[in-house]
Amino acid sequence: MIRSKIIILLGFGSILVLVTMLIIVGVTNLNKSKLRLDKVVNQNNLKLQLVNQMRSAARERTISLQQMLIVDGEVGFENARTRMALYGGQFALSRSKFMVLELSPKEKEMMSNQAQLTKDVGPVQNEIADLVDFGEYKHALQLLVTKAIPLQDKVFGIFLQLQEIQRLETKKAIMENSENYKQIVGVMWIVSAVVIVICISIVFFTLRLIAKNERQQEAYRSDIERQAFYDHLTGLPNRRLLNDRIKHAIEKTERNEKLLAILFIDCDRFKPINDTLGHIVGDGLLVSIANRLKESVRSSDTVCRVSGDEFGIVLEDVDHISVVDRIAQNIIDSISAPHFIDGHKVFSTVSIGITIFPIDYNDVGGLLTSADIAMYHVKKNGGNHYEYYSTEMNLHSTQRLQLELDLHEALTKKQFEIFYQPLNAIDAERNVIGVEALLRWNHPRIGMIPPVDFIGIAEDTGLIVSIGEWVLMEACKQTKEWESQGLGEIAISVNLSPRQFMDSNLISFVENALNVSGLNPDQLDLEITESTAMQSIGKSIEILHKLKKLGVHISIDDFGTGYSSLSYLQQMPIDNLKIDRSFIKNLHHSAKDKAFVQAIVSMAHTLGMKTIAEGVELEEQFLFLKDIDCTVAQGFLFSKPVPPNQIKSLL
């Protein structure tokens, strides 16, 4: 009995020792395998991080090069050139760190190709910078488009391949690690089955270790997939996944013989919001817009963040165009509602370009390009609506690019002119009490171009700030010159664009124009549109009060077309409300417009403001405005905009 107990104890002890040894060996191998996996993953993550740094530095260097083509002044040029050198140094540092890592033959080959491409693109970029330095903008732009950007795109292509190599290497390491785990776990399960009662705790521990490792592997796989196919800020699919979704949607649409719609969406005036309120608010606005986009479409549709403030939507299984119209309008209505972000009430609108498969194009690239062209056509026309692509838009896009190139030279070549339209008092004498400065572009090939055809381009490129500064200075000088000719103290109205209004140097620009021209600040009236004033309420109020301290007058232009409220108007130091011409046009026979205009005039009087009616062309309109005590009228009834040499006769 005792012997049996001893044998059993020895047997159990031997089994226990064997199981313990097997478990120790198994756990040791598991840990070694995990360490090997961690080493590979960490090494590949470091490589991926350095590749991303190189790619970002190369992109920023190219952007700095492009900025040289659009900045005005030596300071802006030197800043752009300094940024080029800075990001060139960052690129070289990241590359040197990458090259000291353990690289595969394929990675070494690709880095060798990248070095050759960078060696080719460097002299081209320096040549472009030198051309810009000497004012050869057209030649520089041509060199940028034909040589620098294609070479840089090849470099970016190499970085994308390197990222793919890191993903595949990590995946391979995970698969090898998984096979090792399967072999080790198999042995442990066989032994554990024999001594299940004795080794239950050890088996439980082993299972927990396995589950934890599997979760780690799944997390690694999910993280790699998300980095490759999803946007980190909004969580939406990125452009790479958008291309894949469109490709599959095309194949599906060809089978079911329905329609496929691609929507390209861009946020209107996002940059001023991001610049004035900060990146936290800007990022919050993008997340808010992304959420509203998802809520505005069907569950079967795909919403992607393409880049920056641009989004793409894939609408599959479309039976009729009316479905696309409804969704596009839902998006516009949803986005235009106020966004509450980090204590700020932010207003935003979007421009939507739409293309239809198979009506417009039959491939992914063609569909995305056509939707993009349609979107820019919408932005040119003021944004906040949608349009479908047409072949005429493609032609217009080419013309717009040429106009943008010409616009860079217009200011330096003195092609801009200022016309002036009188502002007449609404009384028996109808005296001219001031004029409004209106910009015109006398293009050497096309002729006189109205602002509606180029102001949007100037806004997009940032040239509007320097153009607006020139208009302000010239208008103040001209007004002072009229005064020196004995025409009296004439009031001058100058429009401020949205980008100019939000520019950090606006106050100093206005102050400098007054000082240089010698104009009395009381003679200067600065006009901003209602939508500009409501874009960022807190910031707008702050800017308007700073302007008011200079002694100038403030007018809200196009009043009645935006979404201002009485409470905000009370907080703004506004002197005049300019009633939009759309309400004056039918004033002589529309009871509804009469009631609306009369309400605006009454409200303005209550708030201590004057009212200016734009677009007055008929005597009947003038008489009605006089009856309701409107203060000032402006329009063809009195005079069209005229050159400065014709103002004297009007006065």
- The domain that contains 616 carries what CATH number? 3.20.20.450
Q: Name the domain boundary from 178, 204, 229.
A: 229
Q: Is residue 405 part of a domain?
A: no
Is residue 264 within 8 Å of residue 352, measured between CB atoms? yes
CA-wise closest residue to 68 among 91, 85, 89: 85
Q: Is residue 408 part of a domain?
A: no
Does pLDDT of 341 surpass 60? yes
Q: Which residues, in sequence order, are bridge partners of residue 237?
A: 230
CA 84 distance to own-chain centroid: 22
Do 268 and 206 sit in the same domain of this protein?
Answer: no
CA 232 distance to own-chain centroid: 16
Is residue 587 within 8 Å of residue 635, measured between CB atoms? no
At 163 the pLDDT is 75
CA-wise closest residue to 461 among 308, 266, 271: 271
Do 259 and 169 sit in the same domain of this protein?
Answer: no
Tell me if residue 302 falls in helix, strand or coil: strand
At 1 the pLDDT is 46
Do 310 and 201 sit in the same domain of this protein?
Answer: no
At 48 the pLDDT is 79
Query: What value does the mean pLDDT of the chain take?
Result: 83
pLDDT category at 223 given cuts 50, 70, 90 is: low
Residue 45 contacts by C-beta under 8 Å, 6 or more apart in sequence? 166
Q: pTM surpassing 0.75?
A: no
Do 360 and 430 sit in the same domain of this protein?
Answer: no
Q: Is residue 251 part of a domain?
A: yes
Do 522 and 379 sit in the same domain of this protein?
Answer: no
Q: What CATH number did the domain enclosing 319 receive?
A: 3.30.70.270
Cβ-in-10-Å burial (0-12, 13-18, 19+) of 32 comes to: exposed
**Which run of H or of E encompasses 627?**
helix 619-627
- Distance in angstroms (rounded) separating the CA atoms of residues 312 and 369: 12
Do 251 and 176 sit in the same domain of this protein?
Answer: no
Do 279 and 365 sit in the same domain of this protein?
Answer: yes
Q: Name the domain boundary from 229, 251, 283.
A: 229
Residue with the two structure tokens 């460097």: 122
- Distance in angstroms (rounded) separating the CA atoms of residues 45 and 166: 8
SS3 content of the chain, % helix, strand, coil (to 5): 65, 15, 20
The pLDDT tens digits for 400-449 are 777 778 888 888 888 899 999 999 999 888 889 999 999 999 988 888 88
Q: What CATH number did the domain enclosing 162 receive?
A: 1.20.120.30
- Distance in angstroms (rounded) separating the CA atoms of residues 386 and 601: 33
Q: Is residue 455 part of a domain?
A: no
Q: Which residues, in sequence order, are bridge partners of residue 341?
A: 344
- Distance in angstroms (rounded) separating the CA atoms of residues 531 and 484: 37
Do 192 and 307 sit in the same domain of this protein?
Answer: no
Q: Is residue 468 part of a domain?
A: yes
User: Mean pLDDT highest for which of 16-25, 135-144, 524-533, 542-551?
Assistant: 542-551
Q: Name the domain boundary from 170, 197, 229.
A: 229
Is residue 202 within 8 Å of residue 23, measured between CB atoms? yes
Does pLDDT of 485 surpass 80? yes
At 435 the pLDDT is 95
DSSP code of residue 572:
S
Q: How many domains does the chain have?
A: 3
Q: How far is CA 71 from CA 79, 131, 139, in A?
A: 10, 14, 16
Question: Domain range spanning residue 635?
Answer: 419-438+462-650
Q: Cα angle vertex 511, ends 508, 512, to 5°? A: 85
Does pLDDT of 351 surpass 60? yes
Do 251 and 222 sit in the same domain of this protein?
Answer: no
Q: Is residue 324 part of a domain?
A: yes
Q: What is the mean pLDDT of residues 132-137?
A: 73
pLDDT category at 4 given cuts 50, 70, 90 is: very low
Is residue 355 within 8 Å of residue 387, measured between CB atoms? no
Do 172 and 315 sit in the same domain of this protein?
Answer: no
Does pLDDT of 22 surpass 90? no
Do 211 and 247 sit in the same domain of this protein?
Answer: no
Q: What is the mean pLDDT of residues 364-372?
A: 87
Q: Is residue 456 part of a domain?
A: no
Q: What is the mean pLDDT of residues 115-131?
A: 75
Q: Is residue 449 part of a domain?
A: no
Do 260 and 202 sit in the same domain of this protein?
Answer: no
